[in-house]
């Protein structure tokens, strides 16, 4: 390596987007089971916003720099890092530190770029695909022929869930807050519900002939609790991944859950162990990466920003105007899929 320092975006103090400031820091050294990636692009995700606001602390030992997914080139491998070598193009789920020119990542959390992808497209994959696969397909056990309701259908998580549902023969219904976003949901093959104008529980019943959906992927939380339960079919699964509409439910009628054999569960990706994340990566590589390489699924990129304009990227995400992913461009990619 010809340099010993890098630019990264640090949180100078908790607060508004402008607290994200560029700073120089030492390039991280990879641990024994890690690969060091020269970052070409890094995805923006909702947990980054919460971390910047002081509402989602980095776990012990993790980088305080935000950024949970990157794409780039492997430039160094730890002595026990498996599956990659110097020069490989990879995307990876990080434990933090993605808003930087270099990032060290456990090798089990890295995956090769799908065929034909560039760095921006590859960086848009890890956080949403790991999250949707773990919750909807592993924990939620969604199967071909079933129906899923996805809240926030045009978020990065949402468009990923809708495309994976379609690819695996699952019927999808999704909520969004504007006609423009509902049109995108319909373009992805799902039934769209404008939650500002329609009661999603009533429309779910209508769309399923009164049966309800088999699973709900929910990032809203408390404010949707009663209508979520009302929307589930017998043996339905409520899969909670965030609580933008509140984290505390004042009243829970357990009889509804018991009578209809409902399963309510939730999870966060960041606290999972390296072994758990590696297991998810393995399933994605065998079951989903071929679909990406074949062009059956493609990430939807709403906008890109230079690394040093991370504050502008955060403002866009907080506006709620985006459809799909927002990505930081860190370094030039010299070609796709290499």
Question: Per residue in 100-130, pLDDT tens?
Answer: 999 999 999 999 999 999 999 999 999 999 9
Residue 10, beta-bridge partner list? 21
Name the phi and psi angles at 207, rounded to 5: -70, -20
For residues 51 and 64, give the distance between their C-alpha atoms in angstroms, rounded to a whole number: 9
Strands, E, within 31-170: which ranges? 34-43, 69-77, 89-93, 102-106, 110-112, 147-150
Question: With bands split at pLDDT 50, 70 and 90, how would you rate the model's confidence at 337?
Answer: very low
Name the phi and psi angles at 234, rounded to 5: -55, 135
**Which listed CATH number (2.30.38.10, 3.40.50.720, 3.40.50.1370, 3.90.180.10) goes with 5-125+274-329?**
3.90.180.10
Contact 239, 268 (CB under 8 A): no
Mean pLDDT computed over 54-70: 93
> What pLDDT digit, counting tens, does each position of 26-52 carry?
999 999 999 999 999 999 999 999 999
Would you state the pLDDT for residue 37? 98
Say if residue 335's pLDDT is above 90. no
Residue 76, beta-bridge partner list? 36
Would you state the pLDDT for residue 338? 36
Would you state the pLDDT for residue 61? 87
Would you state the pLDDT for residue 333? 55
Fold of 129-266: Rossmann fold (3.40.50)
Q: What is the mean pLDDT of the chain?
A: 96
168: CB partners within 8 A, 6+ apart: 137, 142, 144
Say if residue 276's pLDDT is above 70. yes
Contact 159, 188 (CB under 8 A): yes
Q: Kindly report the pTM of this predicted structure.
A: 0.95
Would you state the pLDDT for residue 209? 98
Mean pLDDT computed over 155-173: 98
The percent of residues above 90 in pLDDT, for the chain, comes to 93
Nearest by Cα to 304 from 280, 333, 279: 333
For residues 241 and 270, give the distance between their C-alpha atoms in angstroms, rounded to a whole number: 12
Say if residue 131's pLDDT is above 50. yes
The DSSP secondary-structure symbol of 223 reads G
Say if residue 67's pLDDT is above 90. yes
Q: Which residue has the tokens 């690819």?
A: 167
Strand, helix or coil for residue 300: coil
Instruction: List the chain domain ranges.
Output: 5-125+274-329, 129-266
Give the range among 123-127, 190-194, 258-262, 332-336 with minimum mean pLDDT: 332-336
**Token pair recorded at residue 325:** 């992913």
Task: Establish how many alpha carbons lie within 13 A of residue 126's alpha carbon, considering only the half-sphere containing its beta carbon.
Answer: 36
Q: Which residue has the tokens 């491998």?
A: 77
Say if residue 20's pLDDT is above 60. yes
Would you state the pLDDT for residue 297? 96
Bridge-based pairing of strands 263-266 and 232-240 is parallel
Say if residue 80's pLDDT is above 50. yes
Say if residue 320's pLDDT is above 60. yes
Question: With bands split at pLDDT 50, 70 and 90, how would you rate the model's confidence at 332?
Answer: low
Q: Which residue has the tokens 């492997």?
A: 74
Instruction: Give me Rg for the CA atoms of the chain.
Output: 20
> What pLDDT digit, counting tens, does each position of 218-272 carry?
999 999 999 999 999 999 999 999 999 999 999 898 999 999 999 999 999 999 9
Burial of 96 per CB tally in 10 Å (0-12, 13-18, 19+): buried
Question: With bands split at pLDDT 50, 70 and 90, how would you rate the model's confidence at 194?
Answer: very high
**Token pair recorded at residue 159:** 């468009």
Contact 194, 176 (CB under 8 A): yes
For the chain, the first-to-last Cα distance in angstroms comes to: 21
Would you state the pLDDT for residue 331? 85
Would you state the pLDDT for residue 134? 98
Contact 103, 126 (CB under 8 A): no
Would you state the pLDDT for residue 182? 98
């Amino acid at each position: 390596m010809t340099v010993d320092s890098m630019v990264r975006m640090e949180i100078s103090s908790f607060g508004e987007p402008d607290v994200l400031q560029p700073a120089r820091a030492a390039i991280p050294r990879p641990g024994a089971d890690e690969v060091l990636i020269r970052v070409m692009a890094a995805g923006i995700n909702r947990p980054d916003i919460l971390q910047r606001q002081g509402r989602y602390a980095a776990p012990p030992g993790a980088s305080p720099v935000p950024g949970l997914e990157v794409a780039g080139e492997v430039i160094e491998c730890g002595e026990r890092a498996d599956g990659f070598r110097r020069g490989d193009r990879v995307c990876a789920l990080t434990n933090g530190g993605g808003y930087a020119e270099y990032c060290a990542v456990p090798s089990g959390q890295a995956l090769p770029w799908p065929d034909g992808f560039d760095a921006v497209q590859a960086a848009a994959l890890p956080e949403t695909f790991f999250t949707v696969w773990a919750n909807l397909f592993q924990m939620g056990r969604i199967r071909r022929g079933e129906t899923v309701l996805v809240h926030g259908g045009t978020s990065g998580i949402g468009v990923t869930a809708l495309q994976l549902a379609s690819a695996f023969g699952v019927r999808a219904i999704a909520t969004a807050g504007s006609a423009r976003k509902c049109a995108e949901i319909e373009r992805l093959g799902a039934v769209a519900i404008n939650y500002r104008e329609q009661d999603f529980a009533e429309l779910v019943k209508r769309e399923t002939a009164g049966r309800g959906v088999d699973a709900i992927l929910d990032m809203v939380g408390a404010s949707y609790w009663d209508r979520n339960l009302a929307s589930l079919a017998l043996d339905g699964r409520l899969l909670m991944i965030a609580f933008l509409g509140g984290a505390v439910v004042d009243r829970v009628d357990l009889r509804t859950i018991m009578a209809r054999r409902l399963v309510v569960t939730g999870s966060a990706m960041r606290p999972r162990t390296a072994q758990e994340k590696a297991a998810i990566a393995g399933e994605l590589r065998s079951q989903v990466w071929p679909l990406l390489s074949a062009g059956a699924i493609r990430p939807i990129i709403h906008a890109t920003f230079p690394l040093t304009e991370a504050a502008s990227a955060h403002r866009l995400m907080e506006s709620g105007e985006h459809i799909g992913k927002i990505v930081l461009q860190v370094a030039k990619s010299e070609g796709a899929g290499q």
